[in-house]
Structure 1
């Protein structure tokens, strides 16, 4: 759990920078006011993405450490391709929300994967903790 928490903390620092000084970040890349306005809005969404990404990366790494790779792979495909991408298209293009709508899909897919991987890590580690105490010695 410490690794997952550390990933979330590091990404929270990054997210905080996105929220606190978005104008400074965007100003490094463009002077176009329309682009700056859109980019600043998207940086707020990227801050949310950062938190979910930290949770997902930490939990997925912990699952790899437990040699659990097949189910997380299927979960990632389902979360990104089955949920995130269609939702990004639906909100961003079909409902004409634009780039922010695309980010809604990306954040939803990533957050779904993050929650699933964290839940799975908890289930697997609880099994490892319970298993030895359930054995009977004769």
Structure 2
């Protein structure tokens, strides 16, 4: 009779201890790398996070808000492309910091503020959370 031996590997990460400012910095960098050079950032971004205990990490949610000025309105397919590009940049930026890339984009929505002849002012709402499938 053979006995099965199971080996468990764990990878420590300090992602759960990242301060809000560091999360916002990662999101800012990711957004700047994801949008066209013509996009103008209006004002500072904001990040609000609901506080959760470490054992409730699957429930972590935050909302990142940034106002932008662009030349044309964004279509639904462009919005999906932006979300995918932003998720990719977010993953790369976390890996560059040497942390497991658990932070991800859950939802992206765009609200038009002003439509002018030459540009569109809009507010970008990004809901972030942790990849729950990685949090066993």
Higher helix share: 1
TM-score, normalisation: structure 1: 0.29
Higher strand share: 2
Decide which structure has the larger Cα Rg and report it.
1
TM-score, normalisation: structure 2: 0.29
